[in-house]
Chain A
Amino acid sequence: QVQLVQSGAEVKKPGASVKVSCKASGYTFTNYYIHWVRQAPGQGLDWMGIINPSGGRTSYAQKLQGRVTMTRDTSTSTVYMELSSLISEDTAVYYCARDLDGRYLDYWGQGTLVTVSS
């Protein structure tokens, strides 16, 4: 069965970086894009960007350009999202989600809580 399993919760200080992983199983890793979406406390879903695991090409939300980096390791079917220069507003649950061809996100990871606090 399709599974996206994310790494555990993180607590970071302002200015630090965080790297969240998303390990895929149950399907051909390179056949599906992976999106990252976050939800801050009491807020809605916020799209962060997308990576094509096949070639590694990425596209990021404009407001995160320069702070977010998405990478993949095809040997372990894992996608990574790194967010740098963290601020308190980055406190959120971060989700990875699968997408076959740019129409919808059909499977989601369980979410990773990232807390930014001094």
Chain B
Amino acid sequence: QSVLTQPPSVSAAPGQKVTISCSGSNSNIGNNYVSWYQLLPGTAPKLLIYDNNKRPSGIPDRFSASKSGTSATLDITGLQTGDEADYYCAAWDSSLSATSATVVFGGGTNLTVL
């Protein structure tokens, strides 16, 4: 059971838009930055979004994200078959102790481009 809640799977046709949600609490998303990671099959995780809505250099603007309260969303527009991957949200969590924070991940969302 992951601390951050994501839908297990989403799907859409090429060229369409998909939204992946990530729900948490005040101890994590509510008071910390959210980041998003893409795991292509057989590869290491790749940073997609940091500081809630910023894209690292090289990440196309088809990928965007936002945060509101204790939830975050990742939007992918103009879907391509190469976007088929698992997507994870993450945030620091201070529920155990203010001095012993941990990083928590969502359970991951598998994107299928039909």
B is a partner of A: yes
Are B45 and A95 touching (Cβ within 8 A)?
Answer: yes
Binds B, one of A10-18, A39-47, A73-81, A83-91: A39-47
Question: Can you identify 24 A-B contacts, CB atoms within 8 angstroms?
Answer: A37-B103, A44-B88, A44-B106, A44-B108, A45-B39, A45-B45, A45-B88, A45-B108, A59-B101, A62-B96, A62-B102, A95-B45, A97-B45, A103-B35, A103-B50, A104-B35, A104-B51, A105-B37, A105-B45, A105-B90, A106-B50, A108-B44, A108-B46, A110-B44
Are A45 and B37 touching (Cβ within 8 A)?
Answer: yes
State A105–B96 Cα separation when bound (angstroms): 21
Beyond the given pairs A103-B33, A106-B50, A109-B44, 17 more chain A to chain B contacts, judged by CB atoms under 8 angstroms and listed by A's residue number, are A35-B103, A37-B105, A44-B107, A45-B39, A45-B90, A45-B105, A59-B100, A62-B96, A95-B44, A103-B35, A103-B50, A103-B51, A104-B90, A105-B47, A105-B90, A107-B47, A108-B46
Chain B residue contacts of A109, Cβ below 8 A: 44
Instruction: Say whether A8 faces chain B, with CB atoms less than 8 Å apart.
Output: no
* CB contact under 8 A between A59 and B102, given known A45-B108, A97-B45: yes
Chain A residue contacts of B105, Cβ below 8 A: 37, 44-47
Chain A: CB-nearest residue to B32: A103
Most buried by A among B44, B46, B56, B90: B44
From B35, B39, B101, A105 is in contact (CB under 8 Å) with: B35
State A16–B56 Cα separation when bound (angstroms): 40
Instruction: Say whether B104 faces chain A, with CB atoms less than 8 Å apart.
Output: yes
- The interface size bin for chain A is 20 to 34
State A37–B90 Cα separation when bound (angstroms): 12
- In chain A, positions 21-42 with a C-beta closer than 8 Å to chain B are 35, 37, 39
> How far is the CB of B104 from the nearest CB of chain A, in Å?
7
State A75–B56 Cα separation when bound (angstroms): 30
> How far is the CB of A68 from the nearest CB of chain B, in Å?
13
From B56, B88, B103, B107, A106 is in contact (CB under 8 Å) with: B56
> How far is the CB of A41 from the nearest CB of chain B, in Å?
13
Chain B residue contacts of A9, Cβ below 8 A: none
Chain A residue contacts of B104, Cβ below 8 A: 47
Chain A: CB-nearest residue to B4: A44
